[in-house]
Structure 1
């Protein structure tokens, strides 16, 4: 793990995790990137990030800066035995403020930063990072760049009722009840949520539940995780995990959990390096 200060207070509405990493695995391999309610922004150092959708080798691409929107399938992160870089988890509001576009524009996509429609300051960031040798200076550069974008962006936050509905869905409230709470029909809410994040409300809720379960796996028994996160039972948890993460919870604990623990991962499920 690379020691780093917390995300600056001015950025915490937009960046829920900012993780510098320098990891040696000992041998080439592949890691899973799980679905998440945040967007993943990865800035590799020394070698480009090689990522694809799991089970779809034809989607493999290499990039010096990668953006992934919300998705409902796992990504596959390929490495040659070591990886270095800085990874960020951006909120839906962060997409609007820092990327200048709604998260829905990037949903289900693994986008090369060079090809993305983003502010020039972000497109220039990989080259500037490569010219910065010290980790503390690299983290500071990322923070300054994002703070500058936030200061110039005004406050283009999602509609308050949509943000409230997404919070309700994350907490486990049903789609019908969430729509009633914010005063919309289910159809209208579905259209607005999809326009904001790129997922239908039910899909967003499934991803949010997976994200909550991921934080508890390895710390509590599977049956307790299922009950705490709103699954009908442990079998339901296993089915949903297999559908969204591409493996059972037990497989993820065996193959991925030690890596996540070693990194001291503080969130950003769905991140490219989880």
Structure 2
């Protein structure tokens, strides 16, 4: 996989070309994340809804969603191809021309989101490119041109620092004190930037960290490493935010893996 160009890494946390054969039609679970999700499908419009809320189904040739605290369902006919990007909070301002809070909890497309014209034209341009290398290069060029224009200013430095502290597990009160704000003031600024409360952001960040370890470490160790009180706490939080337990998520994502808490299972492997 070609890495994100250095000039874009402040704005794009990940850029993933995908070509997946699921074997049969179904749905794929989209978990909450501290980044915005921007998907450019190739074969058919992407159909996505909030889990358990079929009336929220949205179909588009480019899907954009902000931070959220519930799982999404990506509907597919058995195969999917396209390019998925994870945009940082600064990336939302610079590339989309608006703070991430404007898209919090939304499942929308580029026209509804009122993003720059270069992004709105990207899906059609992408369909005319025959190779994966060419598609990725087109996405990178488009984003680099937008970044060069320097859209909205970056998030306030103290808010960015507070979010970094929250991601590392610092309590909300301590993060507020570190950046010189009251808890209430910090809460207002974080909601203005992200669209979620500091506590919700921290829960999402903790889920994201745990996701990177699931299947590689026993659940009790994942819970301890990621700041959960214990394994039961991890399971409760995953059920709330992801709509399933960690073990269920592992079975859905990696059906060939063994039980991560059994001897010899996936959780006993090495990094």
User: For this structure pair, what is the TM-score category when the shorter chain's length is used for normalisation?
Assistant: over 0.9
Aligned to 1:187: 184
Structure 1 residue 133 and structure 2 residue 130: aligned?
A: yes
Inter-partner Cα distance in structure 2 for 1:152 and 1:250: 44
Q: How far apart, CA to CA, are the structure 1 residues paired with 2:56 and 2:173?
A: 36
* Alignment map for 1:144-163 (pairs within 5 Å): 144-153=141-150, 156-163=153-160
Q: 1:246 aligns to what? A: 243
Distance in 2 (CA, whole Å) between partners of 1:66 and 1:109 is 10
Residue 199, structure 1, aligned to residue 196, structure 2 = yes
Q: Secondary structure at the match of 2:7?
A: helix
The offset of 1:119, in angstroms, is 0.3
1:41 to 34, 38, 61: 38
- Residue matched to 1:266: none
Q: CA deviation at 1:257?
A: 3.2
SS in 2 for 1:71: coil
Deviation at 1:25, TM superposition (A): 1.1
Per-residue Cα deviation, 1:51-81 (whole angstroms, up to 9, x for no partner): 0000001111110001000000000000000
Aligned with residue 27 of structure 2, among 26, 30, 47:
30
Decide whether the 8 Å contact of 2:71 with 2:243 is kept in 1. yes
Separation in structure 1 between the aligned mates of residue 255 and residue 136 of structure 2, nearest angstrom: 25
Q: Secondary structure at the match of 2:165?
A: helix
Q: Which has the larger radius of gyration?
A: 2
- Give the Cα–Cα distance (whole angstroms) in 1 for the partners of residues 213 and 256 of structure 2: 15
Equivalent residues, number: 257
Shift of 1:116: 1.3
SS of the residue aligned with 1:26?
A: coil
CA RMSD, 1 decimal: 1.3
In structure 1, stretches of 5+ residues that fail to align are 261-274
The alpha-carbon deviation at position 112 of structure 1 amounts to 1.4
| 3-state DSSP of counterpart to 1:21 | strand
Contact 2:70 2:241 in 1 (8 A): yes
Gaps of 5+ in 2: 258-271
Runs of 4+ in structure 1 over 2 Å off: 257-260
* 1:22 and 1:84 in contact (8 A); partners too: yes
Distance 1:114 1:85 in 2: 19
CA distance in 2 between partners of 1:257 and 1:183 (Å)? 44
Q: TM-score, normalized by length of structure 2?
A: 0.93
Shift of 1:259: 9.4
1:108 matched to 2:105:
yes
- Contact persistence 1:42–1:66 (CA under 8 A): yes
